[in-house]
Amino acid sequence: MGLSRDEKQGLINHIYKKHPSLWVEDTFALTLDHWQIEMLDSPKNRICLNIHRQGGKSFMSSLICLHRALFYPKSLSLIVAPALTQSQENFGKIRDHIDQLPNRPAFDESTKLRLKMGNGSRILCLPGGTKGKTIRGFSRPDVIVEDESAQCSDELFVALTPMMATYPECKFILASTPYGQRGHFYKTWEEGGPEWLKLRVVASECRRITKEFLDEERVRKGPYVYSQEYEGAFVASDTQLISHEAILKSLNSDIPIIEI
């Protein structure tokens, strides 16, 4: 005797709950990148993503929160970003995903950056502000994403981590391109222990970005900024101080040699 329709759906939901990447690919008709599958399905609760610009960090962050909200009733997911505009963008992404769901869940959107679903789950997109004051006071989140982590202040990071005190199983994700050899993102990348899943992806590996575009960007941005934005390099700040122009000038053979 075959399974009933409800039993089948129960089985599918069970698989989707354990393997968020399958749920994402089936629900949104997407082909995920290798790192995206690894990140979504990882059993690790500490994840540090050093991913190039336009790689899909915010996209995956919003999906992991939506997955948590749908499959874990009464869960709380926080996506923190350095500035309000980025939080608004993340929230917009979540809204777009919800609109694409086959059984669009009921939800109550009390403000522009928070939503609460019929199953009691909440997703909050919070701007970090300069000192992290805006994010204090939430307890026991199930997921915390710090988007553009290298641009978020260390004070924000200090305010975030105690929220996990009574629930260390919280999934804690730092997602960023590097920004110098300083701050909590760099420190975590360099010193974070085996509890961390660390993934670095460079733009030349991304099938959505052409080689031509990257060649143009290399010229436009210069080697240091390019390697930071597209190759996951933590460029030392004293190196950054030497401008691209200064380096080009120093290589320019047209500069006359003055004979004394």
**Cα dist. 9→3, 14, 17, 120, 154 in Å?**
10, 8, 12, 21, 44
Residue 104 DSSP class:
P
Closer residue to Mg ion, CB minimum distance, 142 or 148: 148
Contact between 196 and ligand ADP by CB under 6 A: the answer reads no
Determine the interface stretch with ligand ADP among 2-10, 49-57, 132-140, 197-205 (rule: CB under 6 A).
49-57
Alpha-carbon distance 178 to 251, whole Å?
Answer: 27
The token pair that represents 3 in the structure block: 């399974």
Closer residue to Mg ion, CB minimum distance, 58 or 188: 58
8 A C-beta contact, residue 183 and residue 159: no
Alpha-carbon distance 46 to 192, whole Å?
Answer: 9
Closer residue to ligand ADP, CB minimum distance, 56 or 183: 56
How crowded is the C-beta side of 174, counted as CA atoms within 13 Å? 28
Q: How far is the CB of 63 from ligand ADP (least distance, A)?
A: 9
Residue 27 burial by Cβ neighbours in a 10 Å radius (0-12, 13-18, 19+): middle
Contacted by 36, from ligand ADP, Mg ion, none: CB < 5 to 8 Å by type: ligand ADP
Determine the interface stretch with ligand ADP among 24-32, 135-143, 159-167, 220-228 (rule: CB under 6 A).
24-32
Contacted by 46, from ligand ADP, Mg ion, none: CB < 5 to 8 Å by type: none
Contact between 30 and ligand ADP by CB under 6 A: the answer reads yes
Q: Which residue is nearest to Mg ion (CB)?
A: 58
Contacted by 51, from Mg ion, ligand ADP, none: CB < 5 to 8 Å by type: ligand ADP
In the list 8, 53, 133, 249, the residue contacting ligand ADP (rule: CB under 6 A) is 53
34, 102, 83, 37: which is closest to 63 by C-alpha? 37
The backbone torsions φ and ψ at residue 126, rounded to the nearest 5 degrees and listed phi first, read: -115, 135
70, 14, 37, 82: which is closest to 197 by C-alpha? 37
Side chain identity at residue 227, one-letter code: S
Contacted by 42, from Mg ion, ligand ADP, none: CB < 5 to 8 Å by type: none
Closer residue to Mg ion, CB minimum distance, 51 or 124: 51
In the list 16, 40, 50, 57, the residue contacting ligand ADP (rule: CB under 6 A) is 57
Positions 35 through 94 that interact with Mg ion (CB under 5 A): 57-58
The backbone torsions φ and ψ at residue 53, rounded to the nearest 5 degrees and listed phi first, read: -55, 140
Count of positions on this chain that bind ligand ADP (CB under 6 A): 14
Q: Are strands 122-127 and 114-117 parallel, antiparallel or unpaired?
A: antiparallel
The single residue listed with the structure tokens 């933590």 is: 234
Closer residue to Mg ion, CB minimum distance, 36 or 58: 58
Q: Which residue is nearest to ligand ADP (CB)?
A: 56
Determine the interface stretch with ligand ADP among 1-9, 32-40, 182-190, 237-245 (rule: CB under 6 A).
32-40
Q: How far is the CB of 12 from Mg ion (least distance, A)?
A: 30
Q: How far is the CB of 147 from Mg ion (least distance, A)?
A: 6
